[in-house]
Structure 1
């Protein structure tokens, strides 16, 4: 059996801190998905080859880029890391209808209708799907505050990719079925928020991966 290699992916934890509690946007994956159907996740998906070519309104913060580059491999260029930020915002738009960036008056057919603004993205964590799964991803998780991005929380809408899009208190998600890795990433967010509510750009990020059957957590 041929080993499945993990492919680059990005996911985004969109955070609303306008009320008394911090909420994160999640949605239910369709039952038609082969990978993790019928569970609630953050918007996200695999990196497209074209994501490297998308012009951006602003680049990633230097400290976020620096953290992303750690243990990324010698072949992982800045353009590939920047593309992960583009992936996160593209998926947010495709799955939840939220555009973060500068609107384009006449976008090319099949391209984004906005120029992504990567500057407010914080790098929160990285997780590599264990071997043996039908799909494997090397996923970078980003955080984004709605107020910093000029996003109206009420603008989030469901899609064929994510059903029942909803805002969930990051400290209270009882009754919502999430994959183990989603819960782990949410716990990382909780720790980070408790340490510093502003989520500094240069904060160390955990890396989750499996080696010789052991599930490990390192810091980047």
Structure 2
């Protein structure tokens, strides 16, 4: 093999990594031993968040690639509705992280006897309701992925869950910052750490392309606008 992965997580912790080989429509996965500590470089992870993931670069150049290491056939990784159609799992993480951040913020405010203020209750409840709505959409997308639906319907619903929970999570971070003030930005702040981790995780690629693809399916006909259970 030749090359390295720049966002490798679990350096020094995991024994094997599931990596993509080559690129394009025929990309293939392989399960590779990554126990050589000399190949990993955690100093290359300079993100402000997700520090606990033990991420960095890992150099795969020179490692052997036997047929037994290959997972599936070329192109299997990108097959729908399991590739983009599976991003509802990312949405589940985003919704859960947003709920956890609200929970931590509410706990901090209770400890300071500041939660009973009407402005605090209204600010956090407004985003919490949207988090709950996002969770319902995630569940809907997950059910669609195992149901008898057209491929693009499954993909579009999954994308919708992914994008909506991203927006809700970003608004949750903003609401928590406003509620806690400067305490949220101290080095020891638990909500600050959670928000930084979530901010980094939310930055997935190709957001605009995802939105256009979902819209192309959902707005293609009157029937499609009702969604997978309409």
- Fold match, TM over 0.5? no
Instruction: Determine which structure has the larger helix proportion and give its number.
Output: 2
Instruction: Kindly indicate which of the two structures has a greater share of residues assigned to strand.
Output: 1
Q: Calculate the TM-score normalised by the size of structure 2.
A: 0.25
The structure whose RCO (Cα within 8 Å, separation 6+) is larger is 1
What TM-score does the superposition give when structure 1 sets the normalisation length? 0.26
Structure with the greater alpha carbon radius of gyration:
2
